[in-house]
């Protein structure tokens, strides 16, 4: 079972900042910004492209959860990052959004 599936199943005890039937959010354990939250589907998909191909409702909920979290945390701006594939820096092969905030972000990204 992948690490995010272990988190979703409760095998790795984790505090959830957003929780629904299909989606979970929790803090990244190596935060890259003062706010760094991972938003994942409970079900296993290798990346968000694979999820979006079959389940647009859950894909949309990932973004809705990001909006809700950003609002509840009072972020005036934030960045959503989706690494897809090893060349883009994806290290966990379970679909996820990164919600990053609380500091300025440069463009273009590294
Ligand atoms: P990515 O590189 O886009 O696949 O992002 C994976 C993210 O998951 C990284 O930012 C890691 O720090 C984070 N991560 C990996 N394992 C855990 C875990 N057990 N709990 C919280 N965050 C994790």
Task: Ligand 1 pocket test: pick from 28, 37, 98 the residue with the most ligand atoms within 8 Å of its Cβ.
Answer: 28
The total number of residues shown for the chain amounts to 110
The residue contributing the CA closest to ligand 1 atom 13 is: 28
Q: Output the 3-class SS for 24-79.
A: EEEECCCCCCCEEEEEEECCCCCCHHHHHHHCHHHHHHHHHHHHHHHHHCCCCCEE
Distance of CA 5 from the midpoint of ligand 1 (Å): 12
Span 54-77, pLDDT tens digits: 999 999 999 999 999 999 999 999
State which residues of the chain have pLDDT below 70. Answer: none
Residue reference for tokens 């949309």: 60
- Give residue 110's pLDDT: 85
Distance of CA 53 from the midpoint of ligand 1 (Å): 23
Q: Is 36 a catalytic residue?
A: no
- Give residue 7's pLDDT: 98
């Amino acid at each position: 079972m992948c690490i995010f599936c272990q988190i979703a199943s409760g095998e790795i005890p984790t505090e959830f900042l957003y929780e629904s039937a299909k989606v979970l959010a929790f803090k990244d354990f190596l935060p890259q910004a003062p706010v760094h939250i991972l938003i994942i589907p409970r079900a296993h998909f290798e990346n968000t492209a694979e999820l979006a191909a079959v389940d647009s409702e859950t894909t949309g909920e990932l973004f809705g959860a990001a909006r809700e979290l950003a609002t509840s945390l009072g972020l005036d701006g934030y960045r959503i990052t989706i690494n897809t594939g090893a060349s883009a820096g994806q290290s966990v092969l379970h679909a996820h959004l990164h919600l990053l905030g609380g500091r300025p972000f440069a463009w273009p990204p590294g």
